[in-house]
């Protein structure tokens, strides 16, 4: 029997309930997409972590917080989650900022649902449709200048910057350092063993670690967990 592909988990983040409902309805018609529940009063980063969102459709006109700043935090904390910005008024300045923070795509909120769906699927495949926008002269010049500025700031022999760990990932690493198995960690945190495995996969990717033990060593070096906490009383 052919194995059924996992659905792409999509979270729509926008202050306008009507827009969220309309877009959610359109996307839910696609058999390969799963729309995750999200309300503006929820903690977005926690919702992404708990639901393992593959793609976040982020409105750039949020009133309660800075959407670009929020997108930057998502990209930094959850490198496996792709961010697609949806702007009510697409412009070169906002597009350039979205490119700088490694946004996956930048579309107008009035874009056809078919275009948004296509970008979601491309994002899940690891593509960056936003790069196609760099062909415009204004954006191309700005991107070039930014790369030149960044290159001047790189220190010779400098370390590769690693993504920060989330609170839950740090908690799991502490349990690993205590010698606990995935099953015991799942029981201690009252979540599924598969969820623990997903978190550990994310940890290994973020730290570029070979295995669990290597991840613990790297986390101790960075000061994310303490050796002293591991010393028996």
Is 149 contained in some domain?
A: no
- pLDDT tens digits for 137-182? 565 556 545 544 544 443 444 434 356 788 899 999 888 887 778 8
Say if residue 13 is in the same domain as residue 126: yes
Tens-place pLDDT, residues 200-232: 888 888 887 767 777 887 777 777 776 544 434
pLDDT surpassing 80 at residue 26: yes
- Which of the listed residues 133, 157, 187 is the one where a domain comes to its end? 133
- Tokens standing for residue 45: 């980063």
38 domain residue, yes or no? yes
Q: Are residues 101 and 179 in the same domain?
A: no
User: pLDDT value at position 39?
Assistant: 87
Q: How many CB atoms lie within 10 A of CB 192?
A: 10
Domain boundary residue, one of 133, 155, 180: 133
pLDDT at 188: 92
Closest-CA residue to 120 (of 27, 13, 20): 27
Average pLDDT over residues 99-110: 88
Residues 128 and 177 in one domain: no
Q: Are residues 43 and 94 in the same domain?
A: yes
Rounded to an integer, what distance in angstroms lies between the CA atom of residue 15 and that of residue 83?
Answer: 16
Nearest-angstrom CA–CA distance, 203 and 20: 31
Q: Residue 36: which of 195, 28, 84, 45 has the closest Cα?
A: 28
13 is in which domain, residue-wise? Answer: 8-133
- The pLDDT score that the predictor gives to residue 115 is 96
Residue 118 covered by a domain? yes
Mean residue pLDDT across the chain: 81
| Residue 122 domain-assigned (yes or no) | yes
Same domain? For 119 and 222 the reply is no
pLDDT at position 230 is 41
Q: Which of residues 155 and 95 earns the better pLDDT score? A: 95
Q: Give the domain CATH number at 99.
A: 3.40.50.2300
pLDDT score for 143: 56
pLDDT value at 7 more than 70: yes
Which of 48-57, 74-83, 92-101 shows the highest mean pLDDT?
48-57
Q: How many domains does the chain have?
A: 2
pLDDT, residue 41, reads 85
Smallest Cα–Cα separation from 130: which of 73, 164, 87?
87
Q: What pLDDT does residue 162 have?
A: 52
The verdict on 19 and 61 lying in the same domain is yes
Q: What is the pLDDT of residue 126?
A: 83
pLDDT higher for 5 or 127?
Answer: 127
CATH of residue 200's domain is: 1.10.10.10
**pLDDT tens column, 118-135:** 999 999 988 888 867 655
Q: What is the mean pLDDT of residues 8-28?
A: 95
Which of the residue ranges 78-87, 106-115, 121-130, 207-216 would you say has the lowest mean pLDDT?
Answer: 207-216
**This prediction's pTM:** 0.65
């Amino acid at each position: 029997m052919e194995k059924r592909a996992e659905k792409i988990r999509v979270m729509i983040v926008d202050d306008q309930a009507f827009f969220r409902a309309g877009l959610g309805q359109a996307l839910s018609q696609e058999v390969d997409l799963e729309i995750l529940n999200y309300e503006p009063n929820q903690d977005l980063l926690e919702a992404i972590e708990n639901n393992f969102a593959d793609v976040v459709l982020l409105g750039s006109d949020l009133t309660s917080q800075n959407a670009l700043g929020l997108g930057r935090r998502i990209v930094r904390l959850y490198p496996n989650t792709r961010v697609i910005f949806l702007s009510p008024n697409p412009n070169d300045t906002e597009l350039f900022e979205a490119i700088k923070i490694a946004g996956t795509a930048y579309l107008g909120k009035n874009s056809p649902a078919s275009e948004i769906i296509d970008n979601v699927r491309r994002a899940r495949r690891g593509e960056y449709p936003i790069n196609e926008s760099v062909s415009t002269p204004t954006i191309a010049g700005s991107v070039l200048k930014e790369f030149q500025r960044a290159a001047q700031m790189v220190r010779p022999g400098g370390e590769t910057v690693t993504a920060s760990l989330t609170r839950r990932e740090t908690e799991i690493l502490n349990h690993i350092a205590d010698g606990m198995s995935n099953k015991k960690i799942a029981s201690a945190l009252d979540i599924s063993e598969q969820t623990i495995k997903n978190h550990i996969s994310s940890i290994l990717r973020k730290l570029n670690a070979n295995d669990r033990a290597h991840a613990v060593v790297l986390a101790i070096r960075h000061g994310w967990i303490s050796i002293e906490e591991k010393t028996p009383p």
